[in-house]
Structure 1
Amino acid sequence: MLRGRTRESRTIDELLSDARASRSGALVILGEPGIGKTALLNHAAAADDLQILQTTGIEAEAELAFASLHLLFGPVLSRLDRIPERQAAALRGAFGLGPAGTGDRFLIGLAVLSLLAELAEDGPVLCLVDDAQWLDRASADALVIAARRLAGEGVAMLLAARTGFTAPGLPVLELAGLDEVASGEVLNSAARPLTAEFRQRILAEAAGNPLALLELPKSGESQGELSLTTRLEEGFAHQVDGLSTAARVLLQVAAADATADPAIILAAARTLGCAPEHLEEISAAGLIRTADGSRLEFRHPLVRAAVWQRTPLARRLAVHHALSHVLEGTADADRSAWHLAAATLTADEQVAARLEATAARAHVRSGYAAAASAYERAAALSPSADERARRLTLAAEATEFSGRFDRARTLALGAGNPGAELTSRLIRVRACSDYGEGHLQGAHAMLSAGVDHLAATDPSSAAWLLLDAASMIWLDGDRDMAHRTAEQLDALRVPPDADVVAIHQLCRWFVVLALARPSAGLPPLAQVIESARAQAGPDRRGLLLIGGLGLADHDARTHQLALAATATIRAEGRIGLLPQALTFLSRVEYARGRYADARGFAEEAASIAADTGQPAWSRLATILLDQLAAVHGDPLDPASANPAALTLLDLGQGRPEQALLGLEALVYGKSRNRTPAMHLVPDLVEAAVRSGRNARAAEPFTRLESWAEMLHQRWADALVSRCRALLSTTPDADAHFRAALASHERPFGRARTELLYGEWLRRARQTSDAQEHLRAALEAFEWLGARPWAERARTELGATGWSTQRNTGADRCAQLTPQERQIVRLAAQGLSNKDIAAHLFLSPRTVGQHLYKAFPKLGVTARTQLAKLTLSD
């Protein structure tokens, strides 16, 4: 029985009950040392009929990638062959049990999810993690990624940590001190009889901390103003002082060791004059115990801390050296290298080289935080300034990969000014760190500096940097950035036979369109696109190229490129690139009117971007979701939604004056370049005409005409023709509407033109023709789910005398959520639940639950019937 923890125990019991009912969940328990976090984990572990996995974070292991995760899953590694092959390979590589490969940390988190789900097939699983604040970063990331995706597997996960530990997206249970009654009961249960005065002092100083209530009576008088944690450590240290010298040395070795392996601890301690009987002395003192017959554990983490803090420097160095020697040549080469580094106070190339090898192993296993720490320590131990700069560069790159952008910038700056190749890499780290945090202007400035640095000696690399810079122009729309990139593109001299000629020309076209510059001397845009398309693919810059082609290429061809790149990235497990690929794919699907797919891809992009520390791509995916919400007529928060989406919502819901004000602010915005602004001009023209302010559309439309003429794309030509029709004061409007319809390829744009043309025809008393176009608009809007636009078309059609009614059940697929839709589509293709789970980063049981919910909506009862469905978009 846990005194004073009834509410907390009930919360945990409910989580376990859910797991027994195949409902998964996770909970983070936070509190100060000794507050009772471990006791609650033990309460959970005492429950019946659960498969239990448990691990404890150890401070000394924080630099060893996946160390804690390996301990957690060590007993069940034989089940790895039951999860998707790529995930299993990633987990084996992370644990050093197979080739390292290129496993992404997100993929490893999914492997953890799949392994937990596989275990849950045999019954509910309880996953217990104590001292989570000391987990190595790679293990913590993998567990949190898996915990956030738990759904219907039958898994309960409890993570206990000190206050300050963060696990975004997981519920938190904060432990406060016990109340006065419970505190008195705990004190009575363990302490010898106390005087009333001493008892009250203990109760006051403990402040409801259970460990303090148990330990402070043993430590005698108060230690003044020391913190409670320090008081407890001092009390444990007092117990250590009563041991023999050799026993204290053995305890110091155990405190520095992270394996908890008695053989390793005794072997190292033996070189320092200790013997097995000293282990018996420590155990008899109650400071250390044997767990599971094979691991030595301190009674409490504060015991370990107290021991190590009182260990003199010379002894610390000797202990680390002994442990390094014992571990050398074993499977724990990384631990050996870290102990050797801890025993080294001056520069030493051999030690630095061993630590660099440790970093490299962590890097290929996606343990980027551990790799960064090892590279940084190796740099500090490097006698050569060149080697120090190289290793700091590696540390900065690994830190940027891990998503710690501030630290990456600091390391990059600390590397100084090495040679050209390292300098360009450091510039890239700083630019990517700025971009990762959403600071596009800072990132662009860094890239510009990189171009200046490389232009004369390596123009091809400079051209690729300019593609990065150009991408920020079309993503952000800043005019000053566009001017700077234009200047550098003009100055760059790319050899005519270089592979990047088409890239250089495409970037120049982008700034021509952004700044309305002359295109003299450039090949036609269509020719440049054709040449550049060959270099688009499933890497970071290839994806940027796909994104750029999406501005000017035919939708169908860009769609195939984006689809193929996304599929390849999924298949190869390069999860870090998925948000970018999915965002570009979502944009193309949006243009093609496949809104359900566009929403599904954008939601997946935003989710994975959040998990992998890419706020810039999360923001871009959210912008697409806002745009889709506006089309559908869903409410948007004016304080946080994308401004362009808000104007579209205003326009669709019949507020043209409000839409016009918002659109003018965007089109005429001080920093706005023409590329994003021109996409908004057709809406501005419509808003101006509908609010009776045609004159305010004249100048923007003139700019749109010249821009579309340079672009020379059918979708842009269609929008220009529609705007001409709206602004026309003569019967020529009819011809302009027809020209627009002849050029339209994008469904939403075409439906809006059908609506506007039908309205014009109705006002011209051409009722029969008006009905034809209004019916086409209504059908298209209903198909797209554009509710406010469909309502407007229905109202106009009713005004012609045509009887209309809402389509209430034509498309059962429209009732599916985006995730259900993705799952149904894959199931219809014949994929198993396991295959779908691997594809969409879910557990097979969660896939099954989604199908269970989708079948009634689709009116089917068997999986085989899915193949007969038409999944309209």
Structure 2
Amino acid sequence: MGTLSARTPLLNRHRERAELDGLLGDVRAGRGRALVLRGEAGVGKSALLRHTVGQASDMQVVRTAGTESEMELAFAGLHLLLTPLLDRIEKLPVPQRDALAVAFGLREGDAPDRFMIGLAVLTLLAEAAEERALLCVVDDAQWLDQSSAQVLAFVARRLLAEPVGLIFAAREPGRQFHGLVDLEVRGLARKDAQALLRSVVRFPLDERIRDRILAETNGNPLALMELPRGLSPAQLAGGFGLVEARAVPARVEEGFRRRLAALPAETRSFVLVAAAEPTGDPVLIRRAAGHLGLAGSAVEPAESDGLLEIGAWVRFRHPLVRSAVYSAASPAERRAAHGALAEATDPASDPERRAWHRAYAALESDESVAGELERLAGRAQVRGGIAAAAAFLRRAAELTPDPAARGARALAAAQAAFDAGAPDMALELLVSAELGPLTELQSGRVAWLRAQIILARKRGGDALEPLLEAAGRLARVDAARAREAFLDALGSAVFAGRLGRPGLLRTVAEAARTAPAGPLPARPADALLDGLAARFTEGFGEGAPRLRPVLEAFRREARRSPDDNMRWLWLTYLVAADMWDDRTLHELAESAVQAAREVGALHFLPQALTYRAAVHVYAGQFDAAATLVEESDAILKVTGNSYFGFAVNLLRAWRGGAEAPAQLEAAAEAAGAWGEGRAISLCLYMNALVHNAYGRYQDALDYAERACGHDDLGVTGFALIELVEAAAYGKETEAAAAALRRLEDRTAAGGTDWALGVLARSKALLADGEAADSLYREAIERLQRSRVAVYLARTHLVYGEWLRRQNRRLDAREQLRTAYDMLDNFGAAAFAQRAQRELRATGETVRKRTAGAPGGGLTAQEGQIARLAREGLSNPEIGARLFLSPRTVEYHLSKVFTKLAITSRQQLAEALPDAAHDRA
């Protein structure tokens, strides 16, 4: 448990105490706050926590501490933190209550949504804080299990209008806590360090020895207190007993070992049992000690020496005491301690911890222990702890006597580790799996998983050859998996794009055509494989008709089979964009977000949010898109998964800020480093869009031609639109005509109103007289029936520009005014400025919108909450959708009402700026 010992002094620390006292003041005022204290072991973080708890006597306080040996037990730290509050669990909404109860093993159920667990914890804390302000203290956060760390970091980012404070102390905070407000705790100032050293060493020290101790400990309070212990005055005074310069924690731990060595053998055994059982349950620890024949009084010398204290919990003086105790024991002594703890642990109430102790008590291979670990791995995974499942399976494999069974368990452990976001562990386990005899199917699965790990790390072509090799192996034994591996390989070649060798996509597509026939009934993924293989071997015109029914199948099955939609969205979205299928883009992205939220697919949700945000951009709902981008980024900070930059770059391009070209250049450079040629093409196309917005047509033409230099799925068609416009306005008629011919082939195959609308628009740019006028009107009519409002607005713009050049000023004003109003409302600043310039050229004065105009000044999150409130959702329903507490939703809505100058939800329909365009 925790390390809040009253023995560690708190000297000075004015800066740190002021920050912590400020946090308490905010919490008392009803404002939630989170803070991370970081610093090396012994520097005084625990003393600062103790000070803060002492200052919070008017608050409720709950505490926990991470423990190194608990890091693989899902939700262990979170459970200990919330134990004092669990009498309120029945007050939670049913989905939240059930998710938390399953996560803590209080009831059986399906795997809980990780976000639902986070929301349940937030709601539970807010509920408790309604009675009295609440302070949550987490020491040694670097040793929290991954599940607890993710949930607590998630909650910390959502504290706003709840009187809840959350303080973490960590040597080096994990990636989950990056981005939270942190405070570095440094060593004591020299004057305070000298005072502390004098309180420990009560005889004169040689000045040089004193200075050396002060320098080497660097003001670390625990080091100053512990380093002199066990050394005689003569050794200290002369400096002969001082160790050579090493890291402070290691020297401090060595000091604890010296103190342990002086204790009776039965005391060391008792303390070892306490060190091996991180829950700190004194009843359990005494019961286990009894199994070793140790009397309860055996611990008293360690208590007298201040190494630990026993009250409601067993608390070590410092984590390094626990570490010193455990590392100083022999392997046989550790096994005996774990064995006693296994005997003392109730198999009904805590089977996972009992199995874990049994595993570390085993001297050699033991099938009964391995089998128990394997069975409980499933329970751990159902509770949401995939990392715990991987750890259980890994230890099960180590203890498995039969080589074949050991390989199978190592493969299962590798898959769990990969799913848990631990690719290095997964690769290590795959090596272990290959040491045993594997069936041909298992060998193929090993190869496929290794290739998938490469693909997850770099979505470019590095995974291509391993994926093709795995697909070839699987083709002989498992047709369904083989076809999925070929589809992964095609996806890898798609993302490699221009950075792949010439003809790469065609080569891979031809290989994919050798895949065995799929299972019956046919899956949408099988049709996707066949359609993409045709697309890249026979060309767009021949392959596109085969992809149209594939999109219909995925759209039809999206609600009924969300797993398939989530698994293949990274490809189906690109195909739908290539086919100008705005309906499928909308429905697949919307269904994927909903499914990911419902099943808790935390690793996938950021991708789904990214694609849904892009759909919002096309619909002209830039604020809604920005909200989803922010949500995606927040999740990625919690999970540490790869960044998805597509939507944020698309939003930058359409908004058209002055910094956009440089940002897109930087993104293209990063994509090149990652080996993603397709992403380079995306950035080139988006830069062409930006330069067209500013009227820099030669630059736009250059970017667009480079973007079209490689046929990229879901990119080239968009780039051709920009190429035609840039070439037409730049008087490059041959380039414009060539681009138009390519665009016509693609849009004809797509056949949607979006496709035919942008085709008519592009033809109009190169036409004259009645033909141009008719084409512009056709484009507007078709695009009005689509969900792509941004292209509709741009069509009004180019039509108005053409009308002005024809001296039809009144007609031009009508089109340009529509374009300006739409683009300005979207937030497409550069295009709106272009429309404004054209309007002025017609002689019309354009009034600037005031800051207080309807909808002005809403943040992305305020806009999303306002839209959901407009749809009729209650505060708790909005909170559940956005993983916020109802109180925070209420706080945001009050700001929305103020900014919109309204007083009720009923007025939101008229006040929100995107009410007229919210068709996506």
TM-score of the aligned structures, taking structure 1 as reference length: 0.92
The alignment partner of 1:64 has SS state of: coil
- Quote the offset at 1:476 in angstroms: 6.4
CA deviations over 1:26-75 (Å, ceiling 9, x no partner): 22222222111110110110013222111112222222221111111100
Which of 173, 187, 202 matches 1:192? Answer: 202
**How many angstroms apart in 2 are the aligned matches of 1:5 and 1:472?**
54
**How many angstroms apart in 2 are the aligned matches of 1:87 and 1:387?**
38
Letter in 1 for 2:44: G
Letter in 1 for 2:289: A
Partner of 2:677 in structure 1? none
Which of 715, 730, 746 matches 1:676? Answer: 715
Matches within 5 A, 1:602-621: 602-616=629-643, 618-621=644-647
Q: 1:630 touches 1:646 (CA, 8 Å); kept in 2?
A: no
**How many angstroms apart in 2 are the aligned matches of 1:36 and 1:495?**
62
CA separation of 1:241 and 1:657: change in aligned 2, threshold 3 A: same
CA deviations over 1:188-207 (Å, ceiling 9, x no partner): 33443344456555434433
Partner of 2:557 in structure 1? 535
CA deviations over 1:203-255 (Å, ceiling 9, x no partner): 34433121122223322132432633333233322322332222222122222
Partner of 1:707 in structure 2? 746
Partner of 2:244 in structure 1? 225
- The answer to whether residue 353 in structure 2 is matched with residue 335 in structure 1 is yes
Which of 770, 774, 784 matches 2:826? Answer: 784
Which of 80, 83, 94 matches 1:71? Answer: 80
Partner of 1:718 in structure 2? 757
The alignment partner of 2:227 has SS state of: helix
CA separation of 1:238 and 1:450: change in aligned 2, threshold 3 A: closer
The alignment partner of 1:157 has SS state of: strand
The alignment partner of 1:121 has SS state of: helix
Letter in 1 for 2:881: H
Q: 1:206 touches 1:212 (CA, 8 Å); kept in 2?
A: yes
- Quote the offset at 1:513 in angstroms: 5.0
Letter in 1 for 2:390: A
Partner of 2:284 in structure 1? 264
CA deviations over 1:330-360 (Å, ceiling 9, x no partner): 5232222222222223222112112223322
Letter in 1 for 2:894: Y
- Quote the offset at 1:438 in angstroms: 3.8
Which of 52, 70, 91 matches 1:44? Answer: 52
**How many angstroms apart in 1 are the aligned matches of 2:388 and 2:144?**
11
Q: 1:550 touches 1:588 (CA, 8 Å); kept in 2?
A: no
Q: 1:186 touches 1:210 (CA, 8 Å); kept in 2?
A: yes
Partner of 2:688 in structure 1? 647
Q: 1:327 touches 1:336 (CA, 8 Å); kept in 2?
A: yes
Q: 2:411 touches 2:430 (CA, 8 Å); kept in 1?
A: yes
Partner of 1:182 in structure 2? 192
Letter in 2 for 1:825: R
**How many angstroms apart in 2 are the aligned matches of 1:840 and 1:495?**
39
CA deviations over 1:429-468 (Å, ceiling 9, x no partner): 3344334334332345444334323345444444444554
More moved, 694-703 vs 11-20: 694-703
Q: 2:532 touches 2:547 (CA, 8 Å); kept in 1?
A: no
- Quote the offset at 1:275 in angstroms: 0.9
Q: CA RMSD in A?
A: 3.0
**How many angstroms apart in 2 are the aligned matches of 1:482 and 1:536?**
27
- Quote the offset at 1:553 in angstroms: 6.5
CA separation of 1:190 and 1:531: change in aligned 2, threshold 3 A: closer
Which of 139, 144, 156 matches 1:130? Answer: 139
More moved, 443-452 vs 368-377: 443-452
Partner of 1:377 in structure 2? 395
More moved, 676-685 vs 256-265: 256-265
Partner of 2:378 in structure 1? 360
Q: 1:824 touches 1:866 (CA, 8 Å); kept in 2?
A: yes
Letter in 2 for 1:749: Y
- The answer to whether residue 171 in structure 2 is matched with residue 144 in structure 1 is no
**How many angstroms apart in 1 are the aligned matches of 2:701 and 2:804?**
24
**How many angstroms apart in 1 are the aligned matches of 2:320 and 2:718?**
62
Identity of aligned residues (%): 38
**How many angstroms apart in 2 are the aligned matches of 1:522 and 1:13?**
64
- Quote the offset at 1:824 in angstroms: 1.5
More moved, 545-554 vs 677-686: 545-554
Partner of 2:836 in structure 1? 794
Unaligned runs of 5+ in 1: none
Q: 1:633 touches 1:652 (CA, 8 Å); kept in 2?
A: no
CA separation of 1:587 and 1:241: change in aligned 2, threshold 3 A: closer
The alignment partner of 1:812 has SS state of: coil
**How many angstroms apart in 1 are the aligned matches of 2:212 and 2:657?**
67
The alignment partner of 1:160 has SS state of: strand
Which of 84, 91, 104 matches 2:100? Answer: 91
**How many angstroms apart in 1 are the aligned matches of 2:166 and 2:579?**
48
Partner of 2:674 in structure 1? none
Partner of 1:749 in structure 2? 791
Q: 1:376 touches 1:395 (CA, 8 Å); kept in 2?
A: yes
Letter in 2 for 1:657: Q
Q: 2:685 touches 2:718 (CA, 8 Å); kept in 1?
A: no
Partner of 1:492 in structure 2? 515
Letter in 1 for 2:47: A
**How many angstroms apart in 1 are the aligned matches of 2:75 and 2:197?**
39
More moved, 255-264 vs 640-649: 640-649
- Quote the offset at 1:175 in angstroms: 2.2
Partner of 1:206 in structure 2? 217
- Quote the offset at 1:839 in angstroms: 0.8
**How many angstroms apart in 2 are the aligned matches of 1:170 and 1:715?**
43
Aligned positions, number: 867
Matches within 5 A, 1:598-637: 598-616=625-643, 618-630=644-656, 637=663
**How many angstroms apart in 2 are the aligned matches of 1:549 and 1:194?**
80
**How many angstroms apart in 2 are the aligned matches of 1:28 and 1:160?**
6
The alignment partner of 2:855 has SS state of: helix
**How many angstroms apart in 2 are the aligned matches of 1:872 and 1:817?**
19
CA separation of 1:599 and 1:515: change in aligned 2, threshold 3 A: farther
Q: 1:603 touches 1:621 (CA, 8 Å); kept in 2?
A: no
- Quote the offset at 1:283 in angstroms: 2.0
The alignment partner of 1:337 has SS state of: helix
TM-score of the aligned structures, taking structure 2 as reference length: 0.87
CA separation of 1:846 and 1:182: change in aligned 2, threshold 3 A: same
Matches within 5 A, 1:303-452: 303-327=321-345, 329-416=347-434, 418-452=438-472
CA separation of 1:844 and 1:264: change in aligned 2, threshold 3 A: same
Letter in 2 for 1:29: L
Partner of 1:61 in structure 2? 70
- Quote the offset at 1:423 in angstroms: 4.3
- The answer to whether residue 775 in structure 2 is matched with residue 736 in structure 1 is yes
Unaligned runs of 5+ in 2: 1-8, 236-240, 668-682
Partner of 2:887 in structure 1? 845
Q: 1:774 touches 1:796 (CA, 8 Å); kept in 2?
A: yes
- Quote the offset at 1:371 in angstroms: 1.8
- Quote the offset at 1:112 in angstroms: 2.4
CA deviations over 1:571-609 (Å, ceiling 9, x no partner): 444444322332332333333333333333333233324
**How many angstroms apart in 2 are the aligned matches of 1:72 and 1:574?**
25
CA separation of 1:540 and 1:223: change in aligned 2, threshold 3 A: farther
Partner of 2:165 in structure 1? 156
More moved, 4-13 vs 488-497: 488-497
CA separation of 1:193 and 1:702: change in aligned 2, threshold 3 A: same
More moved, 401-410 vs 350-359: 401-410
- Quote the offset at 1:361 in angstroms: 2.1
- Quote the offset at 1:151 in angstroms: 2.2
- Quote the offset at 1:76 in angstroms: 0.4
Partner of 1:172 in structure 2? 182
**How many angstroms apart in 2 are the aligned matches of 1:124 and 1:631?**
44
- Quote the offset at 1:97 in angstroms: 0.8
The alignment partner of 1:491 has SS state of: coil
The alignment partner of 2:349 has SS state of: coil
- Quote the offset at 1:827 in angstroms: 2.1
**How many angstroms apart in 2 are the aligned matches of 1:298 and 1:448?**
54
Letter in 2 for 1:771: R
More moved, 544-553 vs 277-286: 544-553
- Quote the offset at 1:162 in angstroms: 1.9
